[in-house]
Structure 1
Amino acid sequence: MLVDLHTSLHHYAQRHPGDSHAQACLGFLAEAARPFDREHEAGHFTGSAWLVSKDGERVLLTHHRKLNRWLQLGGHADGDSDLAAVALREAHEESGLAGLMVEPGIFDVDRHWIPERGNEPGHWHYDVRYVVRAGQDEAFVVGDESLDLAWVPVRDLADASATDDSLRRMARKWLARTQP
């Protein structure tokens, strides 16, 4: 799977020339001995889900308990190099939704700093994001990792200046992809 991630990241970087996040992810993958392990203190890969409603008009966001911010669903790879599977697993665990499907190919990447918290030092997350589609049932369950969950119109995220930069970027990518 490591070769597949390298190839997928390389293809993503070719489609998005000049994307500093993609270059950071490729560099980290090449240099880190254990890039998927949370114990790798300098940083590690995570997998996230751009979890869209069946009609593609809304995205499910979490009000993240530890970071106290609205974000896409996702989490640590915990040693798994199949980040699409990580994104799908995290989307299911954090939302309680059944019938989710992950689309092939990387949708977005982001390198962001996670501040020190308790005994955990500050570190980098190299986040690889995939489109995950909801099935018929969109009734979610708020789990322990979230303060709340909400279906948010993608257009609202793309246009709101208060939106997190990476969420706004994903919303704009999604809208560009779905426009005729």
Structure 2
Amino acid sequence: MDRLTLKAQLQKYRTPYEEEAGFIQDFINLTEDPLAYKRERLAGHFTASSWIVNPARTHTLLTLHKKLGRWLQLGGHADGDEDLIAVALKEAQEESGLSNLRLVESSIFDLDKHIIPERPHVPEHFHYDVRFMIEAELKDQLVMSNESISLAWFTFDSVVDMIGYNPSILRMLEKTSKSEILL
């Protein structure tokens, strides 16, 4: 997925979720900035994530992020790579050790614009996170990266109890459940 493909997908992207719909134009506008894929763009930049589910759509793989101290989907910075699908897959493999990851479809699964708190040498900034649904097998061995405190599969029913309220995770869970109904 190159910059033009991303922009075209964003222009066609529709969501019934008000919060998500509210920042689609911000994502489209960001595609015009040549620094959009680099973390050096201090106001905010693209990141890519994988919403990893098992083929039966009963579990999702989440990481307890070391810097943020929250359970999140796997993903990271584009670091200059405009192919956000490749970034999402690379980050998922690096953060989970899974090598048998399968992209469910090449279209955007979810978007989230969120603030990253200030840290030493890094000001507060936005992540414009483009997310893709990825499948993996529950039985495959996980290898936790140094970016995580923990890495675990959660049943869809247990996610809220385990991670608390996170609107973007809840939205992806709901989207996954709705996509199952359509299959």
TM-score (norm 1): 0.91
- How far residue 8 of structure 1 moved from its aligned partner, in angstroms, is 1.2
8 Å contact from structure 1 (residues 37, 78) kept in 2: yes
Give the paired residue count. 178
Give matches, 1:24-173, under 5 Å: 24-30=26-32, 32-103=33-104, 104-135=106-137, 137-157=139-159, 162-173=164-175
CA distance in 2 between counterparts of 1:144 and 1:133 reads: 23
Task: State the one-letter code of the partner of 1:145.
Answer: E
**Aligned amino acid, residue 91 of structure 1:** A
1:49-104 deviation line (CA, Å, top 9, x unaligned)? 00111322101000000000000000000101111111101110000011111131
Q: CA deviation at 1:17?
A: 7.8
- Aligned counterparts of 1:123 and 1:3: Cα–Cα separation in 2: 24
Letter in 2 for 1:164: N
CA distance in 2 between counterparts of 1:139 and 1:33 reads 38
Q: CA deviation at 1:41?
A: 0.8
The sequence identity of aligned pairs, in percent, is 42
Asked if the contact 1:44–1:125 (Cα under 8 Å) also holds between the matched residues in 2, the reply is yes
* Most deviating of 36-45 and 15-24: 15-24
* Change over 3 Å in CA distance of 1:136–1:162 after alignment to 2: closer
User: Does the CA-based 8 Å contact 1:155-1:171 persist in structure 2?
Assistant: no
Q: 2: CA distance between counterparts of 1:87 and 1:155?
A: 25
Q: Deviation of residue 21 (structure 1)?
A: 2.7
Segments of 5+ residues of structure 2 without an aligned counterpart are none
Question: Which residue identity lines up with residue 81 of structure 1 in the other structure?
Answer: E
Deviations along 1:28-58, whole A, 9 cap, x unmatched? Answer: 223x231001111111000000011132210
What is the CA–CA distance in structure 1 between the aligned matches of 2:161 and 2:66, rounded to whole Å? Answer: 25
> Normalised by the size of structure 2, how large is the TM-score?
0.90
Aligned-residue Cα RMSD (Å) equals: 1.9
Give the superposition deviation at 1:155. 3.3
